[in-house]
Amino acid sequence: MIQNLNKHERESLHEALAKSGQKITPQREIVYTVLLAQRDHPTVDEVYNRALETMPGLSLATVYNCLETFVGCGLVRQVNHERESTRYCPNLAPHAHFRDESTGRVHDIELPKEILDQLTKILPANFETETIEISFQGRTKSSTQN
């Protein structure tokens, strides 16, 4: 069900962990594998349950730890919507999110660089931005559900 990491993916993981002085553990490999296998912005609990299939003894706290580590390494982004459980996203390209209110699903939206540039221009001069988050809420009209 869950494919192993390919050579490139494994390298990215090992490199990112090494760069921030973190160890490579089987749990981290599995959690990262789960994230890449199905890019549907899973919650911690969803990651946990998917990972259990591969590593039955895995603990929920460890999944929290792994994901936090990945966020710290810049391997993964958090996606929050109101008070719902935090979701995780391994897409590193700058992108926005669209949350379909009827399904709860979150879709990645490509974000043209010009828009990002324009956005930083609307800030007062003494505001230094580190990150920008853009999220849409709405519905998808049937046809191409994805």
| Residue number, 61 or 132, with CB nearest to DNA | 61
**Amino acid at the residue 97:** H
Regarding 22 and contact with DNA (CB under 7 A), the answer is yes
Q: Tell me the closest approach of the beta carbon of residue 141 to DNA, in angstroms.
A: 28
| Residue number, 23 or 110, with CB nearest to its own copies | 110
Which of 69, 73, 75, 76 forms a contact with DNA (CB under 7 A)?
Answer: 69
Regarding 101 and contact with its own copies (CB under 8 A), the answer is yes
| Residue number, 61 or 132, with CB nearest to its own copies | 132
Which residues between 83 and 102 bind DNA (CB under 7 A)?
A: 83, 85-86
- Return the closest-CA partner of residue 54 out of 32, 83, 24: 32
Which of 4, 38, 103, 135 forms a contact with its own copies (CB under 8 A)?
Answer: 135
Regarding 33 and contact with DNA (CB under 7 A), the answer is no
Over 48-101, what HEC string results?
A: HHHHHCCCCCCCHHHHHHHHHHHHHHCCCEEECCCCCCCEEECCCCCEEEEEEC
Q: Given phi > 0 = left and psi -120 to 50 = alpha, else beta, which region is 15?
A: alpha
